[in-house]
């Protein structure tokens, strides 16, 4: 049974103190003096407002420095075209969202290079993945601290630490191996041929032909940007691909974390718990109350505890299935089966 530490928002502590309490329980055995420490997070999309703010990240940076580590913030570029499609655009977006080296107190590095091409191929004997393309920066650091915003997600139901590692630590080629099974379809009865999806697709995989959108599947990477921007809900992901995505995410996370063993820690913020993920460039409805912060050395235990606390707060054990027609417990079960961690946990309130 793995320990998951819980800073409960209902105790009325200052955020800095809550974060410090979690850091003290999860980071010291992960970071040694002189370690290069990657703090993996999502710095928000342009137009979004519920990503984890810099004021919540800086105390983690300060703690790492105080124990002798050399921290930097990091993430990878996205498959879709918006404010994070390459390193330059991402750094601009990070600055817009308040993330600057001067404010945070450490460098910010996009882990997969200028255009998402910097990667290391990691062999993996999974059900679906036989190789995983990990963003190269992660392969050259000493320690990893994964800071995640627990929230809903259209594709996998819930986004927490496993999603943050299994997708967010990969190069663009690596992401394609996850997303490819979620190639969307077009509802021809709803499509009006407006062309918004065609203009949005950076892969030139969707064209308007005779006033209807047509997807060229040999080009489509399954990023679902067309699904997000379609104002008529005419583009939709296949329901049968979602469960496979969950398995692929768990397998990819396991491939990334093979390098770190005991040199990784995980922190989940259960605040601003929205239906949609932080990649969506607009406001998203919150479906659960703020709960607090979790910390653990076990990526499976912390995500399982996060799911349980959110479900309990909503008094609804099927809330994620109801919202997104996919059960993230499949990801937890898979992750445990492949040895990524333990779903049985002891919740220790600080």
pLDDT digits (tens, 9 = 90+) for 162-203: 999 999 999 999 999 999 999 999 999 999 999 999 999 999
Q: Which residues of 238-256 are buried (b: 16+ CB within 10 A; e: fewer)?
A: eeebbbbbbbbbbbbbbbb
Helix or strand (DSSP H, E) at 143: strand 143-149
Q: Are 173 and 135 in contact (CB under 8 A)?
A: no
Backbone angles phi, psi at 319, to 5 degrees: -60, -40
* Predicted local confidence at residue 100, as pLDDT: 98
**316 is written with which tokens?**
């609804």
Work out the mean pLDDT of the chain and round it to a whole number. Answer: 96
* Residue extents of the structural domains in the chain: 2-178+241-349, 184-237
**309 is written with which tokens?**
């606390």
For residue 161, give the 3-state DSSP assignment. Answer: helix
Residue 283 has pLDDT above 80, yes or no: no
Assign a CATH topology to domain 184-237.
Answer: Alpha-Beta Plaits (3.30.70)
**244 is written with which tokens?**
């496979």
Residues 6+ apart with CB under 8 A from 109: 72, 73, 74, 137
Q: Does domain 2-178+241-349 match CATH 3.40.50.11440?
A: yes
Owner of token pair 């489509």: 220
* Predicted local confidence at residue 333, as pLDDT: 98
Bridging pattern class, strands 235-236 and 108-110: unpaired
Q: Are 133 and 166 in contact (CB under 8 A)?
A: no
For residue 153, give the 3-state DSSP assignment. Answer: strand
Q: What is the pLDDT of residues 290-301, one digit of tens each?
A: 999 999 999 999
pLDDT band at 327 (very low <50, low <70, confident <90, very high): very high
Question: What are 293's strand-pairing partners?
Answer: 7, 269
pLDDT band at 153 (very low <50, low <70, confident <90, very high): very high
Residues 6+ apart with CB under 8 A from 216: 204, 205, 206, 207
DSSP secondary-structure letter at 71?
A: E
């Amino acid at each position: 049974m793995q320990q998951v530490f819980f800073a409960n928002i209902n105790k009325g502590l200052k955020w800095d103190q809550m974060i410090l309490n979690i850091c003290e329980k999860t980071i010291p055995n992960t970071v040694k003096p002189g370690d290069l420490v990657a703090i993996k997070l999502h710095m928000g999309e342009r137009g979004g407002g519920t990503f984890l703010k810099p004021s919540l990240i800086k105390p983690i940076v300060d703690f790492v420095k105080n124990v002798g580590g050399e921290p930097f913030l990091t993430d990878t570029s996205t498959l879709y075209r918006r404010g994070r499609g390459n390193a330059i655009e991402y750094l601009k977006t990070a600055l817009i969202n308040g993330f600057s080296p001067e404010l945070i107190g450490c460098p910010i590095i996009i882990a997969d290079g200028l255009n998402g091409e910097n990667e290391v191929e990691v062999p993996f004997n999974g059900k679906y993945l036989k190789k995983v393309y990990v963003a190269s920066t992660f392969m050259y650091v000493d320690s990893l601290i994964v800071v995640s915003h627990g929230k809903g997600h259209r594709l996998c139901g819930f986004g927490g630490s496993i999603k943050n590692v299994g997708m967010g630590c990969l190069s663009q080629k690596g992401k394609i191996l996850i997303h490819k099974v979620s190639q969307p379809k077009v509802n021809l009865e709803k499509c009006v041929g407006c062309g918004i999806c065609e203009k949005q697709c950076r892969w030139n995989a969707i064209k308007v032909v005779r006033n209807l959108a047509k997807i060229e599947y040999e080009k489509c990477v399954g990023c679902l940007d067309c699904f997000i921007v379609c104002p008529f809900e005419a583009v939709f992901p296949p329901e049968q691909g979602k469960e496979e995505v969950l398995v692929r995410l768990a397998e990819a996370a396991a491939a990334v974390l093979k390098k770190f063993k005991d040199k990784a820690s995980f922190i989940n913020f259960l605040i601003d718990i929205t239906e949609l993920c932080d990649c969506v460039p607009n406001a998203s409805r919150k479906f659960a109350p703020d709960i607090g912060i979790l910390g653990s050395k076990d990526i499976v235990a912390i995500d399982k505890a996060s799911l349980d606390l959110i479900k309990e707060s909503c008094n609804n054990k099927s809330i994620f299935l109801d919202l997104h027609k996919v059960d993230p417990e499949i990801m937890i079960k898979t992750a445990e089966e492949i040895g990524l961690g333990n779903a049985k946990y002891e919740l220790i309130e600080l």
